[in-house]
A and B are shown apart, each in its own frame.
Chain A
Amino acid sequence: MRLLVILLLLLPGLAQAQWMRTGLEFHGQPPQPDPVVDRARVEAQQARRCEASAIRFGDTAAMRGAVAPPDWDDPTRTSAAIAAIADRPDTALQALDAAALTATTDEAATVLEAQAVLTALQFGQSPTVPTNDLSGPHLSDRLFWQALARAPTATPGQWTDQILPALDAAFAADPTSFQVRAWRVIAWLEARPPAAGQCAARIAAFSDRLLDLSEASACPLMLGHVTHAIDRALGSRPGTDSDRARATWRRFGEALLALVAGAPEVAAHRRAELTGAGGCAAMMGAELDALAREGER
């Protein structure tokens, strides 16, 4: 009777386990948990490594070649050049205003308007960033700048409610913009990932953002550059981050990027720092271990 009870208790587990035969012996293996980080994307990026991608670098849609080069006449080009070298905002913005008055097409005017917004930001001003009637790469730029303009004074709540959605919308408008992909990771970290929610869902969401970023190029140098830029934006290294929960997410992020970039020793170092960190660290570690094992095959 007792044996029957034990058998009934073990039966569900025995049914779920995967049984492998070696000679005359059967060995039961517990079922593996469903992967949280997208394995296919990791493998694809590990295989592609430093090859070029369709993702573009540049401050504006025109600069990164996401729209056709504007058809400017010589006076417009001269005004744009003056705006580029000026060290006083009035000189630069007046030159761009003068050029916009003579723009012959809507596209040329839109490019000049974007240049004026960017120039004002470069001079440390807080310009209004209109998004009326725009779509695609131009809309992506404006949403990105709106997010940047809010960033210096934003609270974690505003990062979550305003900036993160704006950057996601910018990403949807132009998936080829690298700056938007990079700031989607920074904004997610700034939003101080909420404690509520399943670990698996949160790890999947964060790793998707990281893999969007590394899709540009999975070169070690490139991703080292990215990691350093994130440190600069947040003003700390993971080891000196005052927010322990965020530091854990950053360690996971660096480990994942290192795995993608083919730096297993760095990944192992960051993975070791996750041990005993609490929160979702155990699941992060399990995912990193599984990815590392698959990378060794």
Chain B
Amino acid sequence: MRGQLQDPMPEEDDTAALDLSIAFFSAVLMLFAFVAFQLARTPQPDPPATLAQPDTARPVLPPTWSAVAERGSWAVYDGERLTILDMDAIAAGMRDVLEAYDGEDGYQALTLLSGPDPRAFALRLSFRPDALPAPWRREVTRPAPEAPCPETSRRLLRTYVAADVADVTPLARYLDACGAQFAPLVLREPGDSGRVSVQIGLGPGSYSEEAMFR
């Protein structure tokens, strides 16, 4: 009688505890499996294929990718006419002030900038986009699909475009057909005199700032 009382656990209780522990262990295993699936990272999207621009854009601005910058011509477009500037005439005015054009329709002024760099200068040109001074006009064309190409300009054409010109597509197509590269420079609205001023030149340090890589 005493021995029966000391029996710690009946046989069926022992089996139940074993079942419980197996069930618990399985549940933990299942939990691990789900947690493992949850931790699986979503695949990253493909990184961009390049550090740089993905494709070559149509060159609208002057090319700066070559080792040496390309010299171009200067022009003015008023919506109808493309005028190639006579830089030789303007250079003559730079060399001798008496030869510099000075009139109601335009003038030029060269300033040798003071500072540590003696190469710095600013050439100021003031003109009416629709009526340029005669000595500055080297060639005038009217851009159109069948119009003749400019004969005196270089391949690269830096073109001042009048402020009231809303669409330069005809000019871009015309120059493209002529094998020229078009670099538009938009002019401000003319002042009371009807003229607009632009500056061509180099400031101190502009070489190093402009030529980041050539």
Contact = CB atoms under 8 A, between A and B. Distances in A.
Interface of A: 56-59, 62-65, 69-72, 74, 76-82, 84-89, 91-92, 95, 118-119, 121-124, 148, 178-179, 182-183, 220, 223-229, 231-233, 237, 239, 254, 257-258, 261, 263, 265-266, 268-269
Contacts of B50: 224, 227-228, 237, 254, 266
A231 B65 CA distance: 10
Contacts of A224: 50-53
9 contacts: A63-B208, A64-B208, A72-B118, A78-B94, A81-B123, A92-B71, A225-B213, A226-B213, A227-B52
SS class of chain A's interface: helix, strand, loop or mixed? helix
Contacts of A118: 68
Contacts of B110: 78, 81
A158 B2 CA distance: 109
A78 B90 CA distance: 12
A117 B63 CA distance: 20
Interface in B62-85: 65-74
| 9 tightest Cβ-Cβ pairs between the two chains A and B | A228-B52, A63-B207, A224-B51, A265-B47, A232-B65, A81-B121, A87-B73, A72-B118, A269-B47
Most chain B CB within a 10 A radius of its CB, from A76, A82, A118, A225: A82
Contacts of A182: 213
Interface of B: 44, 46-53, 56, 65-74, 87-88, 90-91, 94-95, 110, 112, 116-119, 121, 123, 153-154, 200-202, 207-208, 211-214
Nearest to A73: B118
- Which of A63, A74, A123, A124 is the most central at the interface, judged by chain B CB atoms within 10 Å of its CB? A63
B51 A227 contact: yes
Given A179-B67, A183-B67, A223-B51, A91 B88 contact: yes
B47 A122 contact: no
B118 A58 contact: no
A110 B95 CA distance: 22
Given A88-B88, A257-B51, A265-B47, 10 more contacts: A58-B207, A72-B119, A80-B121, A86-B88, A122-B68, A183-B67, A228-B53, A229-B213, A232-B66, A258-B51
B207 to A, nearest CB: 4
B112 A56 contact: no
A77 B91 contact: no
A77 B95 contact: no
B121 A77 contact: yes
Contacts of A70: 118-119
A71 B118 contact: yes
A82 B95 contact: yes
